[in-house]
Amino acid sequence: LLGILIVVIGASFPASGADEQLQSNEITMEEVVVTGTRTAEEIKKVPANITVITRRDIETSNAKNVPDLLRTQEGIVVRDFLGNGKTVDVDLRGFGETASSNTLVLMDGRRVNAIDLSGVDWTQIPLEQIDRIEIVRGTGSVLYGDNAVGGVINIITKTPGKKPHAKVAVILGSYGRNKESVSFSGGQGKVAASLFATYDSTNGYRENNAFRAKDAGAKIVLDPSEILRFTLSGSYHSDQYGLPGYLSKAEVELDRQATNSPLDNAYTRDKYADLGMDLDLAGLGRVVADISYRKRDSETNWVSWLWTSETETKTKGFTPHYVWEGSLAGHENTFIAGVDLYWTDMDILTSSERVDKDSQGYYFNNALSLFENLILSVGARHERVEYEFDTTTADVKPVDRKEAYSAGLTYTYQGRSSLFVRANKSFRFPLTDELFSSFSGLNADLKPQEGKHYELGIRHYFSKKMYLTATLYRAAFDNEIFYNPLTFTNENHPETLHRGIEIGAKADPCRFFTCFANYTYEKATFEKEPFDGNDIPAVPKNRGNFGFNIHDFIPGVTLTAQYNYVGSSYAISDQANQHEKLESYYTIDSKIAYKWKNLEAFFGVNNITDEKYSQYVVAGWSGLVFYPSPERNWVAGINVRF
């Protein structure tokens, strides 16, 4: 009934202009990003391998969530525990099991990484509200501090416009999936606002794999003058889901959709508010500041283990920074300096314990044009972190400090093309779960992880509609943090080495055809005993993607397809490399969409070849255990804009 209503309403509104549609098919002339420098800058001027996933990329994909979008990008491995996007590792530059603590995830510049092992909750970010995703590969420790070791992913939500706009959408799919969403935006005078609400439900691929989520949020933009802007945003997310757990190899062969924990379940309640200010001081620079608050309640019920965990986490943030762009002795210069302050309090309600983590980061970055096409970038950061573990048996307050540095050269040529080289020093502080346990107390021997990074890259445009990127990198780490399954503790490994090459290409050779391809070779190894020479688990050496988009060859019709390959690797926690390697796997996904006036309908199939594989595999006491991934599945939907 709702689908019929959408069709009726949609047919009554005028179609979008053809010029706008054609423009969206072109490769952007000058892509501008904010994540690489914390201010708007052209990609070609930033000494890093950067990718922007645009709104059009999102709309033409078969993705159900943000990790589905990321898995098609070079240098990234995605491991989905549950197959529904709730609990996912997104790995930039080969950290395996600790990927979530070595990749920093931002939403509109606000940190969303947890202070404990729970990682990032990707389901709190509905695809419908995303404008673009910026991926900066390689360490961002100078600008962002803790966690930004392998790279930074910034999810940027839509900014409301003045013209009234609304959208209603319905999606159906395999495993009883249904999703409904509605959004509205508009404004008048100096104010613009947007609202959205979403309900997403699926029974899941496996038994006890159901997932139900509700989201609602709003954003208000106020421009009281030409030099001042305020942005107020907030959202509420709630979900409940089953925990099907792992299966042995024999159990997977017997029934890969089965579960050994039919009653295990969890729920989440997550809400945040953010107030941002952007003040233009004309020739004196700009002041940008954000104040944020987040409250997250979670409960996990391991009925099969007769254990429940319930936590309440509150995070407050204040992140002001100053930007000056001007001429320094006749040379263009951009200077940025800022402070990142975060206070996180976690109450473990089931054990009457409290865990706090407070951090203060002070940084600067300066980009000076030595010549018209040669830019020197240098930066530094000092960060202090203080923990407090208040338990029934102890009250300890460890404190640590670390510094990060960066230096890079960027040479621009032929319009949009550029070469870059950079060297960086990174750090990562231990997560609270890694540093302290109520059973064993403070892990006093655990040190912060430190790394030295070197990169050389090129972004070359063969024409306005075809480019190639290639990046060589090497990162050597002291005290990289790993979980030791033999001692049940987290430990530092003396030395590890990560090196590889990332290659990507995109072409728009004619009005109706776009294609992309990328390949990543990555080798991550232990460099000293007890695992000297062994591969770091869960880091495949070879990965690749290829895809194409045919649009408006038949008016209104868009066909997309993509191939995703992940090579073999050792299972998580198999530092000894004693188990057999996991087999490589590939998936092929495709989608066809038809747009008429303000109405769009689509149908897609994921894993067309019905590949049987597991993204997440762990080496346990009894051998390898598996979290099977979904087989062939379909999705269909209809939406209308008015």
Assess contact for 432 and 387: CB atoms under 8 A.
Answer: yes
User: Looking at the domain that runs over 2-641, which CATH code has it been given?
Assistant: 2.40.170.20
Give the per-residue pLDDT at 17: 37
User: How many CA atoms within 13 Å lie on the side-chain side of 504?
Assistant: 18
Give the per-residue pLDDT at 194: 97
DSSP annotation of 206 reads: S
Closest CA to 538 of 575, 488, 495: 575
Q: Where are the beta strands (DSSP E) in 45-190?
A: 49-53, 76-80, 88-92, 103-107, 110-111, 130-137, 151-157, 165-173, 177-188
The CA-atom distances, in angstroms, between 394 and each of 74, 196, 445 are 45, 45, 17
Look at strands 103-107 and 321-328 and give their pairing. Answer: unpaired
Give the per-residue pLDDT at 84: 86
CA–CA dist 545, 564 (Å, integer) = 5
Give the per-residue pLDDT at 38: 92
CA–CA dist 505, 460 (Å, integer) = 9
Give the per-residue pLDDT at 92: 97
Look at strands 151-157 and 103-107 and give their pairing. Answer: parallel
Look at strands 395-396 and 103-107 and give their pairing. Answer: unpaired
DSSP bridge partners of 594: 557, 601
Give the per-residue pLDDT at 484: 85
Closest CA to 449 of 389, 493, 391, 399: 493
SS (H, E, C) 530-545: CCCCCECCCCCCEEEE
Give the per-residue pLDDT at 487: 79
Give the contacts of 192 (CB within 8 A, at least 6 positions apart).
Answer: 159, 160, 161, 162, 185, 186, 220, 221
Largest CA distance in the chain: 73
DSSP bridge partners of 386: 358, 399
Give the per-residue pLDDT at 381: 99
Q: Where are the domains of the chain?
A: 2-641
Can you tell me which residue has the tokens 């962002």? 144
Give the per-residue pLDDT at 16: 38
Token pair for residue 361?
């980061």
pLDDT along the chain (642 residues), means of 10: 33 36 41 87 95 93 92 95 90 96 96 93 90 96 97 96 95 97 96 97 97 97 97 97 96 97 97 98 95 97 94 98 94 97 95 93 98 97 96 84 98 96 98 85 92 98 95 98 86 97 96 96 96 97 97 95 98 95 97 96 98 95 94 97 92
Token pair for residue 126?
């509905």
Angle (CA) 621-623-625 rounded to 5° is 105
Token pair for residue 367?
């980009």
Token pair for residue 497?
């080495």
Can you tell me which residue has the tokens 């040529």? 413
The pTM (predicted TM-score) of the whole model is 0.93
